[in-house]
Structures are given as C-alpha cells and as structure tokens.
Amino acid sequence: MTWGTYSAYVLFVVLVLIVPGPDTALVLKNSLAGGRRGGVLTALGIGSGNLVQGLAAALGLSAVIVRSEPVFLALRWAGAAYLGYLGVKALIAAKRGDYPALEETRSGSGRRWREGFLCNLTNPKVLVFYLSMLPQFLTPGSTIAEALVLAGTVGVLATLWQLVIVAGVHRIRAWLLRRRVRRALDGVTGTALFGFGAALVFEG
C-alpha cells in the first residue's frame, strides 16, 4: 500500500464520516445532557465500537457474520431496537421539558460511553461499510497489518470527527441549553435516532 493509496483512503473515509448518522445524533444528544465530558465519553465509546468492528473486518470475522443471515438479522434487530430505545428516551425528554440545572455528573460517565459503544457496535451498516470499503484499498499481496491499519484509521478518524462535534456544541452550549431550544433539539435527535432504527428494520 502506497502513501498515495492511503491518502485517497483517508479522504474517502472523511467524506463518509461527515454525513450525519446515528453516532452523530447520539453525540449531539449526550453533549447536551452530559456536557463536554458526556460528549467526549460518547465519542470514545463510538470510537471503541468502530475499532472492534474494524478489527473484526480486518481479521475476516465480519464476513462470516454478514454471510450468516440469522446472525446478521439478529444484529440488525438488536441495532434497530437500541436506536429506537435511545430515540424514545430523547422524545420523552423533549415532551416533558423538565431538565435538571446540572446534568453533567460522573455517575453517568459509564452510561455515556456504553451508549456510544453499543450504538456503533449494534449497527450492521458499519460491518457492511468495512467489508465493502477495505477490499477497494487492498491488493492480493496486502498483509494483515495493512488491513488493520486501514480499519484502525476509520476508528481514529471517527473519534476525532465526533470530538469536533462535541467542541462545537460546547462553544454554543449556553444557547443550546435554553429550554425551548433544548426541547427542539431533543425532538430532532430523538426522531432521527428512531428513524435510523426504523430504517434498519425496513430496508432490504
């Protein structure tokens, strides 16, 4: 793998990552509810999920999962259910509009990381993404190490992108935490998360 090939790969990954998806919606939600710390932990959880799926893809495990229809369907339904759960929680919060004055507590740290990790890990589209993308930048003579580098790059870039979102939210958090704005954002992110879950169920 040449530096030119790797540079093209990085550019392609960046273009894919900036398209909003379930991970972005969750980072936005948790950055509001848990502050910068909550957003960072969610981003790290998403990055960890990405690295696990990337490692599985690089080692060929994802191919086995995708080709086993019962396993893949189970993963799809698990992902849809979890996204639906997160979406409903956000929609309930938007309806109630009762937000504590300070939600950024250490007690929720583990939960923020787990939400990010599970949101990414239960998304079968990530598996398909790795399996469709990695072969485009590998050759028959490529080594496992090269595949691992490509897979790890996605996890690192995804985490960095989510941290950029967290930083942006933090800069305007005072405005975003106004009750009316907060309710509107919870409604939007909740609807988006629920919609992403529904899409997993109904797409072929």
pLDDT tens per residue, range 76-116: 788 788 878 878 887 887 777 665 544 555 555 688 899 99
The pLDDT mean for the chain works out to 80
Average pLDDT over residues 186-194: 80
> How long is the chain?
204
Q: In the prediction, which pLDDT does 189 show?
A: 79
Q: What are phi and psi of 181, to 5 degrees?
A: -65, -45
Q: In the prediction, which pLDDT does 125 show?
A: 79
Q: Within a 13 Å sphere around the CA of 12, how many CA atoms are in the beta-carbon half?
A: 15
Q: What percent of the chain has pLDDT over 70?
A: 87
Is pLDDT above 70 for 63? Answer: no
Residue 203 pLDDT class (50, 70, 90 cuts): low
Q: In the prediction, which pLDDT does 102 show?
A: 44
Q: Within a 13 Å sphere around the CA of 128, how many CA atoms are in the beta-carbon half?
A: 10
pLDDT tens per residue, range 10-51: 988 888 888 778 888 889 888 887 888 888 999 999 999 998
Cβ atoms within 10 Å of 115's Cβ, excluding its own = 25
Global pTM? 0.72
pLDDT tens per residue, range 79-88: 788 878 878 8
